[in-house]
Structure 1
Amino acid sequence: MDAVPAAPVRPLPATVRGARTRAGLVAAARRVFERDGYLDAKLTDITKAAGCATGSFYTYFANKEEVFAAVLEQAQQDMMHPGMGRVNDSDDPYAVLEASNRAYLEAYRRNAQLMGLLEQVAQVDPEFRAFRARRADAFVRRNAAGIADLQERGIAAAAVDPMLASRALSGMVSRLAYATFVGQESDGDGGADFETLVATVTLLWANALQFQPPNN
C-alpha cells in the first residue's frame, strides 16, 4: 500500500510538454524547499527556478501545499525499495536483508532534507501528519509481508507476529535514520560510519527474527 499525497493533486498532464513542465516545477520546488525550508519557500522562487511564468504554476498545482505533496510523493517512490522481498531458494537471506537495509538507508540519506521538512510540517499541519502516518504504514506492511515470507521458508521464527515485529523493527530503523541523517548537525552522519550503520541494523533485524542459517 503506497502512501498518497497529503493534499489533492490535479490529474497528471496529458501532453509531453505538460508533463515536462510539471516535472520541472516539482524539481525546482524540491531545490527551493531544501534551500529555504517549507515556511520560507515562495512560489515565485519556485517558478523562477523552473524557468516558467507564475501563472503556469496554477495549471498544475493549486498552492504550495500541493507542490510540496508532489515533491514528497516523488521522494516516497525513491524510498519504496523492494525491502524485505521474497527470498529465493538460492539466496542468502542475511545478504538479502543487508541489501534491503542498505538500499533504504541510502535512499533516506538522499532524501534526508525532505524527511526533516516533513517532520517539521507534520507537527503543525494535520494533512501532512496524515501523509507521514500513511508513509510509515506503507513501509510497515511491506516489511510485514517480507517477514511472513521468511517464516514460511523456515528462516524467521514462526512465533514472531509479522505485523508487530515489522512495526517495531521498521520504526527502529526509521528513527535511527532520522537521528543519523537529519537530527545531527555536526557532519551529517551522526558520528556513525555508514557501513557500521548497515551492519548494525541488519544484525538487529536478524537477531530479532531469530534467523536460521540458510542451509538449515
Structure 2
Amino acid sequence: MIVRMGRPRTKSAPKLPTTTRGRRTREGLIVAGREILERQGWPGFTPEAVAQVAGVSYGTFYTYFESKEDLLHSVLRSVAGEMFTSSLVPPDTTDDPYTRLVESNRRYLRAWDRAAKVVRIVEQGAVADEGLRQMVLEIRELYVSRSTEGIRRLQEAGLANPGLEPRLTAIALGSMVEQVGHVIDTLAEAYDEDAVVDHLSRLWAAAIGLRGAPDEGWTADPRGSGSAAAG
C-alpha cells in the first residue's frame, strides 16, 4: 500500500518548467523514478534516491515535484504514453482484420512487458489513492475505447458477431490478453511469444466470430470423438 510521505512543503507547489534546462531536469527525475521503481519497488522510491540517481540535489526534487506521489503520477503518465504509442498497429499494415489483430496483440504484449513493473505497483497503490485509481482507469479506457471501436467496425462490416455488446466484449478480451501477459512476465509461465500471440489472437477471433480467421467454421467431429460433450 502506498502511504504518503515526504517533508512538509514551505513554498508554493511546483509548476511545469518553461526552460529547456528545467524540462530536461524534470524529465531526468521521471526517468530516475521509473528506474528505481523497476529495480527496488515502492520501498526504494524516495525523493532522496530519485535525486541521487538523477544526479541532482535533494532540494531540486521539490522544485519539480510536490511529493514522491506526485512524481509517481508523472512516471505513470510517461509509461502509459509510451505503452499506448508502441502498441499501435502501423498504418501501413494490411487491412486484413486477422492480420491486424495478431499485430495488435504482439505489440501490446511487448509494450506490457516493458511497462508491467510500474503498472503493477501503481495498481496496488490505486486501492488507497483515488488519484492513482483515476489514472489507471484513464489508461484502461484508452485501450477499451480503441478495441470497442474496432469491434463495432467489424460488426458493421458483417465480419463479426453482431449480437455481442462491443464495449463489454472489448473489456473481457482485453482483460484476457493483459492477464496472460501478467502470467508470462510476472509468474514466469514458459511460453514463447509466437505461441502466445497465436493463441490469444485465435481466441479473440473465435470469441467475436471473426470472418476469415484461421478457426472460422471449426466444428467437432460429427461422429462424436471430438465433441466437447464427450467428456
What TM-score does the superposition give when structure 2 sets the normalisation length? 0.78
Q: In the alignment, what sits opposite 1:59? A: 63
| 1:26–1:70 CA contact under 8 A, matched in 2 | yes
* Alignment of 1:191 onto 2:190: yes
1:212 deviation in Å? 0.9
Q: In the alignment, what sits opposite 2:229? A: none
| 1:79–1:108 CA contact under 8 A, matched in 2 | yes
Instruction: Identify which range, 205-214 or 74-83, moves more after superposition.
Output: 74-83
Q: In the alignment, what sits opposite 2:108? A: 104
Q: Structure 1 residues 67, 88: CA separation in 2 closer, same or farther (over 3 Å shift)?
A: closer
Q: In the alignment, what sits opposite 1:209? A: 208
Amino acid at match of 2:166: P
Matched residue pairs, number? 201
1:85 deviation in Å? 6.9
1:175 deviation in Å? 1.8
| 1:29–1:71 CA contact under 8 A, matched in 2 | yes
Q: 2:144 aligns with which of 125, 131, 140?
A: 140
The 5-angstrom pairing of residues 1-216 of structure 1 reads 11-81=15-85, 91-182=95-186, 184=187, 189-213=188-212
- Structure 1's unaligned 5+ residue stretches are 1-8
The structure with the larger Rg is 2
Amino acid at match of 1:16: T
SS of corresponding position for 1:39: helix
| 1:84–1:146 CA contact under 8 A, matched in 2 | no
Amino acid at match of 2:55: G
- Structure 2's unaligned 5+ residue stretches are 1-12, 214-231
CA RMSD of aligned residues (A): 2.5
SS of corresponding position for 1:22: helix
1:27 deviation in Å? 0.5
Structure number with the bigger relative contact order (C-alpha 8 A, sep ≥ 6) is 1
For 2:156 and 2:133, how far apart are their aligned partners in 1? Answer: 35
Amino acid at match of 2:16: L
Q: Structure 1 residues 97, 90: CA separation in 2 closer, same or farther (over 3 Å shift)?
A: closer
Q: Structure 1 residues 73, 212: CA separation in 2 closer, same or farther (over 3 Å shift)?
A: same
